[in-house]
Structures are given as C-alpha cells and as structure tokens.
A and B are shown apart, each in its own frame.
Chain A
Amino acid sequence: MTGLNSNQRPDFAAIAQWVKRDAHVLDLGCGDGTLLKYLQQARGVTGYGVEIDDGNVLECVKNGVHVIQSDLERGLAEFADNSFDYVVLSQTLQAMRNTERIVREMLRVGRTGIVTFPNFGYWKNRLQILRGRMPVSENLPFEWFNTPNIHLCTVADFEKFCGERGIRIVGRTVLTDGRAVNLLPNLLGELAVYQFGG
C-alpha cells in the first residue's frame, strides 16, 4: 500500500496534512505502522512507532516501520526531551489510564502533539444515551463490558482540559465520515483531531 484510502482511518489524512516534510515523528500506539509508513512515503518523515501488541510489532517490521515495543502507560522514558517535531497519539487517548501524564509526556519529547479521539458528544452517541444505552458505532465499536475506552470525552471536554493546563491548541479538525465539520463540531463531529503545543 502506498497511500491512504479515504475510507481508512480518516484521522490519518487529517494528521498527514499537518505534518511538515522531513519531520521527525513519534507515533504512539502506532498499530501496524500504516500512518508512519504513509508519512515516510508521502512526507519523507523519519521516526518511530511505539506499540505494545506483539502482532502489531510484527506488522510494523513487515511494513518497514521502526517500532519500539513498549507500554505507553509506563511513560516515554526511552525518549529524550524535545527529540521529535511531532508526537502523534491517534485513537488511543481515550484508552489511556493516565490521560494527563501521556499528554505531558508528548509535550516533553516533542514540540507539537497531535491527538485524535472519537467525540463522545456526537449527536448519534447522545441519541443512544437518550435511548438509555451506551453508544456503539464504527468509531466506538465496543460494548460497555469489553471496551478498552475508559476515558471517553467530548470536543468541549478536551478543550477545557487543555485550557486548564496551559496547553495551547494550535489546530483542530473535526470529522464526520471523513469530511471536516465546521458547524457545531461538538454535536455534529464524530472524530476529533487536535494539534497542540506547550
């Protein structure tokens, strides 16, 4: 695969448009390395993925992505201060036990952080709640009893979180079906993509 399909991880395209050419990138929870591989080919970036799962580590090796097998909950001790242009955490923030710590770590090792997460405030999620059920959707595919997502939040929640901690939001794209939503993003946006600095 040389590019990204439009129907595959729409947040990847949003991330890619922000990443400058030849940047040094750290992709936390990089999965099979698809994003990094794409950024390497399309933007000439260098960098590493961090992944805990054996199967994903193997896929990264097959994909030609430099991967470091590690548990993000342990922090990023292997990485020196200010050693990356971008630190990406895609669709993983909501599954982290210590949310604040990982955001701080991202800003310690990198100049710019990029996170993506499913917007819990999306109207379809709200509707399911109103119907008395926990939301299950393409972006939230798990049932309440088996979900790894322990810290779900809304667009408004995340911005409040950053504001209270002096974290500067420098870019925001909220997507529904891969398209940017500008009107009422906390209600109409399904997937949030943020770029922030310290």
Chain B
Amino acid sequence: MTPARKLRGFFMAAIKTHDLTRSVGIVTPQTARFTAPLPLRSGAVLHGYELVYETYGTLNTDRSNAVLVCHALNASHHVAGIDAADSGNIGWWDNMIGPGKPLDTRRFFVIGVNNLGGCHGSTGPLSINPETGKPWGGDFPVVTVEDWVDAQARLADQLGITQFAAVMGGSLGAMQALAWAIRYPQRLRHSIVIACAPNLSAQNIAFNEVARQAILTDPDFHNGNYQSRQAVPKRGLRVARMVGHITYLSDDEMASKFGRQLKHGKPGYGFDTEFEIESYLRHQGNKFAEYFDANTYLRITKALDYFDPALDHGGSLAQALEVVTAGVLVISFTTDWRFSPERSREIVRALLDNRAQVTYAEIDAPHGHDAFLLDDARYHRLVAAYFERVHREIAP
C-alpha cells in the first residue's frame, strides 16, 4: 500500500467513528512568533518564543465572537476536530466544541493554544535555546498560569482580538480563565471556570510532588538534560501519570469500572499486573510516557502549585477578584475530590462579595475530576444555554 493510500485509510477509519456533521473536521495547527521579550513571574525573561494554536469557526467582522479555550495538564492546542497529521488524534474537548455543540463553532471563533513550556509545538523545554544552540531541557524557566495568560494575550493581539466573548477552561485551564478575568478584565466578556480551585490544597500539592519526585529521581532524567543524552525518563513519567490518574477518578467510579477484578481470574501471588486497576494505570502511564515531555510535566505541576491569586492581596480572594467585570460561570462536579465543589464555592463566594455577575452550577456526576471532559447531558445543556446568552449579547 502506498503511504498516501495508507493515510487515506487511517482517515476513513477515524472518520467512521467520528460524527463529522458535528465536527469541525480536519484541522491544521498554526504557529505565531513573538519577538518582544516576555517577563515571567519568576523574574526570568523569555526573549522570543512561538505559540502553536488552532482555530475553528470564523471571526466575525467586529471581532467580537472569539472564545479562547485553555488547556489543562496534559492537553494541547488540539481542542477539537481531527488532526491533519494524525487522523486518530481527535481534539481533547471535541464533545464540547463544534457545529451544534455547546460551544457552537457556527457562531463562535474558537482558539486553542499550546501553552508556553508545553511539548506540543510551542516554545518549551524541547525547543532550542537560542543562546546556547542546544535544547532548553532543564534550563527552561518555570512558567506560571499568569505567564501563560500574558502570552495568550499577545496571541490575541496578533489575531486582532481586543476582547474575547469568553475565555474557558477546565481544571488548570479554568485557572487560566479566572486569571484572565483578573489580569485583563476588559479583554473578556465572560469567564467559564469549570472544575477549578482558587489554589491547590496541601493534599493537591502533595500528589504533584510525588509525581515530580518520580521524574526527578528517574536515572534517565539527567537534571532535565536527558534529550542531549538520548534518554527519556519514562519510568518517572509513567509513575507521575499513574498518580495523576488516581486523583482524576472518584472512588465510586474506580469501583464500578475496575472493582477488585483480576485480569486472570485468580491471584498469582506475584507482582505482575493482576488487578484491572493496575492494568489501567500502567496502560495510562505507558501511553503518557510515549508522548509527553518530563520537563514540561514538572513545570505544569509547578504552575498548578503556584497558582494563588489571593496571595498578592493578603490572602483575600475577594480582593483579588475585585477587578473582575466579566460574567463568570462556575461549574463543579459533586464527586470531584481533587477540586471539590467546596473549592469552587470559595470562588463563587469571593465573586458574590464583589457583586460580580456570577452563575454557579454543581453537576451531580459520578466521574470525579474527569467529569469536565465527559459528555454529560446536564453539564452540556448548561454550557450551551450560557453560550446562547453570550451569543445574544454580542449579536449585532
């Protein structure tokens, strides 16, 4: 079979399992280059960088219908549709974004961007450091949620978008949506904050630290400069991902998906994969170690740990949110113990203290933190209704 035919075959297979009538279709990422230095929260300065992004839908003439979708830990700019370079690669929030979907691309111009320090094409540890001519590796600076938002704002400048109809995200993506409302209050009409927390709890940070230690102590890590040694700290990445996955699912969801089921029906009294949950975690770990960069993982978990908008306001979240003028939709999920509804309520309370235009929904879903990525009818109906409202606001 010729490569072209093979590729066509892949596409057809992907298309069969993907409802094309409600898909943005095949998408190709673009690259934006920035030459102005970007000062980072850590004090470091990034001299020049690139951001890889995708867009879906059409920007209207008054440029008022743009929606920025921010990604969480392991995702990327590929938010919806079929990746032109890999037909099996469907966007990570494809159930939310597309024609006729809650974020309807027939009405909105949607932008997905790979964050700075990422490993999906934007400038990050895998990129070449222009000062040394070698990959950044462990020398890439630690970036924060605020740094990402600043970089995204420059992308918006380049695309001629002065104000987003909405900035939206789940989990770490939601932290960016919230940071947008604080840092650039005039540049967004709405902030959609899903499965979020105003900062990480000690328990959250603890899980991140276990994940980081798994990577940092992997003999293949080489202080982050594994690339020049042709090594990949896969063992560390696997364990890091396994820890993460434990926190994404609720206890009930794990029980119903895997329970105490054994792969071979009876105990083997050894250390091979026996319980189904072990098999699941190993599978997720292996998959992740194949495509994700360890230095990026370290930095993203740090960005999570450092996020704390109240910190600059004497610990008062209400004061931090005083500047917010955007409408804010906060959504939490009842079984999410990583970022529990209580944490979302803290955000809601701080917004209420400021008489902000806040709407809060608590979705009774069994799936834990992962629920924000899943196709839940009540959740999706709510987001659709909210975007209907946004659409009415910006309609001429």
When the two chains form the complex, which single residue of A46, A58, A64, A83 contacts B381, counting CB atoms closer than 8 Å? A58
Tell me if B352 and A61 are in contact (CB < 8 A): no
Q: Give the interface size bracket for B toward A.
A: 20 to 34
A58-B381, A61-B389 are contacts. A68–B353 as well, Cβ < 8 Å?
no
Q: Point out the residues of chain A lying under 8 angstroms from B388, CB to CB.
A: 62
Q: Point out the residues of chain A lying under 8 angstroms from B389, CB to CB.
A: 61-62, 64
Binary CB contact string for chain B from 381 to 392 against chain A (1 if under 8 A, 0 otherwise): 110011011000
**Which chain A residue lies CB-closest to B363?**
A54
Tell me if A83 and B353 are in contact (CB < 8 A): yes
Tell me if B355 and A24 are in contact (CB < 8 A): yes
Q: How far is the CB of A16 from chain B (nearest CB, A)?
A: 21
Cβ-based interface call for A99 (8 A): no
A48-B352, A78-B348, A78-B352 are contacts. A68–B385 as well, Cβ < 8 Å?
no
Q: Give the complex CA separation of A136 and B377 in angstroms.
A: 35
Tell me if A69 and B360 are in contact (CB < 8 A): yes
Cβ-based interface call for A184 (8 A): no
Q: Point out the residues of chain B lying under 8 angstroms from A54, CB to CB.
A: 361, 363-364, 378
Cβ-based interface call for A67 (8 A): yes
Q: Give the interface size bracket for A toward B.
A: 20 to 34
Tell me if A66 and B382 are in contact (CB < 8 A): no
Q: Point out the residues of chain A lying under 8 angstroms from B353, CB to CB.
A: 80, 83
Q: Give the complex CA separation of A191 and B388 in angstroms.
A: 36
When the two chains form the complex, which single residue of B352, B358, B381, B382 contacts A80, counting CB atoms closer than 8 Å? B352
Tell me if B361 and A69 are in contact (CB < 8 A): yes
Cβ-based interface call for A79 (8 A): yes
**Which chain B residue lies CB-closest to A59?**
B385
Tell me if A78 and B345 are in contact (CB < 8 A): yes
A61-B385, A61-B389, A62-B388 are contacts. A83–B352 as well, Cβ < 8 Å?
yes
7 contacts between A and B (CB under 8 A): A48-B358, A54-B361, A57-B382, A67-B360, A67-B361, A68-B348, A83-B353
**Which chain B residue lies CB-closest to A68?**
B360
Tell me if B382 and A61 are in contact (CB < 8 A): yes
Q: Point out the residues of chain B lying under 8 angstroms from A77, CB to CB.
A: 345, 349
Cβ-based interface call for B357 (8 A): yes
A68-B348, A78-B345 are contacts. A61–B355 as well, Cβ < 8 Å?
no
